[in-house]
Structure 1
């Protein structure tokens, strides 16, 4: 039986970095990166595509579109895709690709490391090898993060440690599988898609993430709504908006059909999600103006989904709701 063909798409990050006088810098080529895994050819047929070589702090929506385009251009030629990525914005990229590439029946895996692969002590080799084992598993499909031995759905990953090797958690959903030695132990089966793979080619970056703080003044709201078409509010607890900000939000939003302005409510609390119907501070928002609620989504998923959603150019708020909440249902498995 011929080995599966895996395309390694490199973007830089710590995994491809070396130490310089200015600090860690991603300089390894894709070939140099994979040369640190001499047994790779015995597992699969590896090929490489160097997309960029940057610290993931510099990652942008344009790069997400480039990643999706690279997968689309090569989708029929390979059995799986592994993207080597810096850890700082890896969760954003994983969530973005989950919306840009839907119904994929092939594994699309993002991984990276906390230490460079060229270092004497590194988690990079394990993460890369675990990613290969996951990519070769017949039950693997769709966008996933493989890191620290865990396999996490693309819309559920969050980096919650800056140094430790177990840097990523699966938020509000169990991890899909775990790599134990040379085998993948699967806990949740990923359903096979019922339709063809779908690729999106647009994102609208006019999304602002507003983290509420006690006593925040409403003065900044007109500028935010002038510059952005979607405001995601990271509220307190189960969700709501302080009374002092209500008029500012009402004026900034207007009617969606006239302004195309969108409000999405979520929570600053990482686990268990929002529910604006619990408290009066949430119900008064629901009674006064139209909005969407992110419920138990990660912030990374909410931001990237919003960029994808704005690009759909929904003509009415009802159409926007249908698209967003259909995506919520779509995400239910993945987050």
Structure 2
């Protein structure tokens, strides 16, 4: 297809060249499909392949100057597609494709010109960012959508490339004072839809993504949520994965770190941002942190640099499996003790590129099965080990699968507690995965540093490294839920960095009293951590 562009500006000329390349690619696809139909019997795919590629090559706002190119495309497609003898009635195929070409370059709905997004999938991310299928938009037919007609599509002026799905489970953000409950805070069904409609930042800014929101019924407190609820959220994201460019999950803060960490492990090769957020003050209050948290979560959910599960709160975007709640009343409620934030906001948004994980190079998959037969024990000085031993014996009778021990410092247990060590050894041999984490807010378990840690290591106990308790528990539950893994494989994977949840041992800071050589090696390894 030829076009004269010597008299047009450079930007227009470049656009014309780009369209020409798309048109040539279109014809190549059609010819390839024709060849496949003759060799392998893929004739039925030809009309769909041609139609999908044709629609994907259209440009928004095509003017009269494009009419000649459209006519040339149609003429060349007629000679290319109709030349296939195995696709059925040639006249019907020709008519179908030509009619789609004429009507699908743009369509007018309610007086506003929009592109036809029901058939075409578009990838809003740069090509080098992900090899996963591109994201498209919701269809008009509710039978083909993941949610029913109660799902709210927020009105938007103009069409943005990005689309974000907000899933609301409840939490302080949606709460209001309930007179029937002693004027205490309780979630209000439908409040989010009303608030979103009045947020001009989301409805009028053409740079903001289009918002689709869905409230679960009923809204629940995060303290009532568990693995079943996490699996529901994960499945809803999976169902809508190729319809949206990013996802926001609104929930209470009490168990947000657990839920977000769980989804981190449930999602394999996640190529889009999933941002959890909430608030300390309800959105209905004149002074609140909910508005900023919600807006920034939407912005980060439409980012093309983040492809993981995150938590945004106050002014930080944190990796979900590195985050933990650290305050019950201050607006800075979450922290990432052993890893810098993915991004921080001030006058500008400062992204820490050295922390951000690269995009995946594989197919998106979801595994929601989690084994909940876990127990966590936090040790205190002077404890009666006989009570713990009896508890462990009783737990083994009820098919205990995982035991998380919160020990002192770098993972130390009193060296004189031989009976307890023997009990842990028996539990490990009986198939219980015993994991040690630290009670310290910052730092890592280093089981071989002290003699007491060596005893645990010989007992078959696994180190959690510098993982948070939330990440340790959800990772262990996720691995135990994998029926394809043996116990030894689970023990090994607990020490492997799967989603950025831990720092490998050879990249951890050197322990106290380490030799100069050990410190030099650790420093060198840390420089390559990301």
The two structures have a TM-score, normalised by structure 1, of 0.92
- What CA distance in whole angstroms lies between the structure 2 residues aligned with 1:329 and 1:70? 21
1:16–1:315 CA distance, 2 compared to 1 (3 A): closer
Whole-angstrom distance in 2 between the partners of 1:56 and 1:123:
18
**1:24 counterpart residue number:** 185
- Residues in 2 aligned to 1:105 and 1:316: alpha-carbon distance in whole angstroms: 28
Distance (Å, rounded) in 1 between the aligned partners of 2:196 and 2:368 = 29
> Residue 196 in 1 paired to residue 363 in 2?
yes
Aligned pairs (5 A) from 1:240-255? 240-243=412-415, 245-248=417-420, 250-251=422-423, 254=426
Which of 322, 325, 332 aligns to 2:492? It is: 322
Contact 2:464 2:494 (C-alpha < 8 Å) held by counterparts: no
Cα distance, 1:245 vs structure 2: 4.8
Q: Quick one: distance in 2 between partners of 1:113 and 1:255?
A: 41
Aligned match of 1:135: 301
Q: Relative to structure 1, is the Cα distance of residues 17 and 255 closer, same or farther in structure 2, using a 3 angstrom cutoff?
A: closer
Secondary structure of residue in 2 paired with 1:146: strand
Return the alpha-carbon distance in structure 2 between the equivalents of residues 292 and 307 of structure 1: 15
Once the two structures are overlaid, the 10-residue window that deviates more, 247-256 or 290-299, is 247-256
What is the CA–CA distance in structure 1 between the aligned matches of 2:198 and 2:328, rounded to whole Å? 24
Going by fraction, where is helix more abundant, 1 or 2?
2
Deviation at 1:328, TM superposition (A): 5.2
User: Which of 136, 140, 160 is the matching residue for 1:2?
Assistant: 160
4+ residue runs of structure 1 moved beyond 4 angstroms? 243-246
CA distance in 2, matches of 1:328, 1:106: 17
Structure (1 or 2) with the larger CA radius of gyration:
2
Q: Aligned partners of 1:300 and 1:68: how far apart in 2?
A: 17
Q: Say yes or no: does 1:147 pair with 2:313.
A: yes
Number of the residue aligned with 2:401: 229
Cα displacement (A) at 1:142 = 0.9
- The residue that corresponds to 2:457 in the other structure is 286
User: Which SS does the other structure have where 2:169 is aligned?
Assistant: strand
Structure 1 residue aligned with 2:350, among 185, 205, 210?
A: 185
Partner of 1:87: 253
Residue 380 of structure 2, aligned match among 194, 213, 220: 213
Q: Distance in 2 between matches of 1:239 and 1:319?
A: 22
Contact 2:321 2:500 in 1 (8 A): no
Deviates more, 1:307-316 or 1:151-160: 307-316
CA distance in 2, matches of 1:315, 1:79: 32
Give, in angstroms, the shift of residue 179 of structure 1: 2.5
Shift of 1:70: 0.8
Aligned partners of 1:139 and 1:93: how far apart in 2? 23
Q: What is the total number of aligned residue pairs between the two structures? A: 332
Deviation at 1:316, TM superposition (A): 4.0
Distance apart, 1:282 and its partner CA: 0.9
- Tell me, what secondary structure is at the counterpart of 1:296? coil
SS in 1 for 2:496: helix
- Normalised by the length of structure 2, the TM-score is 0.59
- Counterpart check, 1:58 vs 2:224: yes
Q: 1:39 maps to which residue?
A: 201
For the residue of structure 2 that corresponds to 1:301, the secondary structure is helix
Offset from partner CA, 1:168-213 (integer Å, 9 cap, x none): 11120000101235x5321123311121222112000011110001
Give the aligned partner of residue 11 of structure 1.
Answer: 169
Contact 2:268 2:366 in 1 (8 A): yes
Distance 2:330 2:373 in 1: 34
* Contact kept in structure 2, 1:253 and 1:262, CA below 8 Å: no
Distance in 2 between residues matched to 1:313 and 1:31, nearest whole Å:
40
* Larger RCO (CA within 8 A; separation ≥ 6): 1
- Report the 3-state secondary structure (helix = DSSP H, G, I; strand = E; otherwise coil) of the residue aligned with 1:254: helix
Question: What is the distance in 1 between the residues matched to 2:332 and 2:499?
Answer: 29
1-structure distance, mates of 2:485, 2:211:
45
Please state how far the C-alpha of 1:314 moved relative to its aligned partner. Answer: 5.9
Distance 1:216 1:35, change over 3 A: farther
Instruction: Judging by fraction of residues, say which structure has more strand.
Output: 1
Any idea what SS the aligned residue of 1:300 has? helix
For residues 5-61 of structure 1, give each alpha carbon's deviation from its aligned partner in whole angstroms, at most 9, with x where no partner exists. 100000100001001243111114241342352321331111012235111111111
CA deviation string 1:90-138 (max 9, x = no partner):
1111111100112211110000000000111100000011111212222
- More deviation, 82-91/225-234: 225-234
